[in-house]
Amino acid sequence: MKRIALFLATNFAILIVASITMSLLGVGGILDETGTNLNLQGLLVFCLIFGMGISLVSLLMSKMIAKWSTKVKIIKEPSSERERWLVQTIESQAREAGIGMPDVGIFPAQQANAFATGANRNKALVAVSEGMMQRFDREEIKAVLGHEVGHVANGDMVTLALIQGVVNAFVMFLARIVGFAVDRLVLKNEEGLGIGYFITTIVTEILLAFLASTIVFWFSRRREFVADEAGARLGSRQGMIAALQRLQKESNVPNQMPESMQAFGITSGKKKGLKALFTTHPPLEKRIAALQNMTD
């Protein structure tokens, strides 16, 4: 309920800010000069600016949000042999992958997980959970770290944000066309934008965003296979397989990763049926099979 309320408030706020911004940019409103038809060019620019803008702002804030939401402790100066090994391992993998040295951290979660995030591949963040550090052996952890470094090197966070931005723009554009059609053809409003337009636009936007998100989830699942290959290359294939097999055995451990970060973790939990379309990671058994069939 809170999410829906926040979405509605944000949607109206965007409409107000958008109107001001469009005027300042000289693009004009979403209606033509007569006020009776849509200005499709202006509407498209509006949707691209705000659809892409929201996604890119989220990307730029991703590292800060990750630190805050996971309570990750950044290792500035290793205080133990374990932390020293962790920093040295990521430093070696980053060098091999051709990226800058990421910030390295450990976050307080008993669930075995790790994530990478950041808008700049040379200033990213790679973090591993306390639970993984305690229960996984170093070969497995090294492979998982290689998986996360692979995400950074492949630019997956940036690509995911761009795809999300295009999806946002498409949803906003189509929802407003549907809202305008209902306002004019069903409610017979002949000029301006009536209440039917705003209500229909919001409802349509929610429904389309829900459906269109499957595209983003699909891309995320495909990139996990590529990141697994990076884990096998920067660590070892057996280590990556063993890590995924251990995650299978720990499937009963609650997923403590914040929802906003689950796409960047090593796993997001198991879902079946239609729910599988809305998960960020493929089933572990498929990932293990892909690694076993991987050619050197």
Find tokens 């965003």 and name the residue: 209
**Structure token digits, residue 171:** 């949803």
How many other C-beta atoms lie within 10 A of the C-beta of residue 230? 23
Q: Find, among 243, 266, 246, 241, the residue nearest to 255 by Cα.
A: 266
Residue 68 burial (CB count, 10 A): 11
Catalytic residue among 77, 91, 139, 148: 148
The rounded distance, in Å, linking the Cα atoms of 76 and 78 is 6
Cα 32–chain centre separation: 36
Respond yes or no: is residue 148 known to be catalytic: yes
What is the separation, in whole angstroms, between the first and last Cα of the chain?
50
**Residue linked to tokens 């920093």:** 87
Three-state DSSP class for 14?
Answer: helix
What DSSP string runs through 217-243? HHHHHHHHHHHHHHHHHHT-HHHHHHH
Name every residue whose Cβ is closer than 8 Å to that of residue 61 and which is 6 or more positions away in sequence: none
**Bridge-partner residues for 103, per DSSP?**
125
* Catalytic annotation, residues: 148
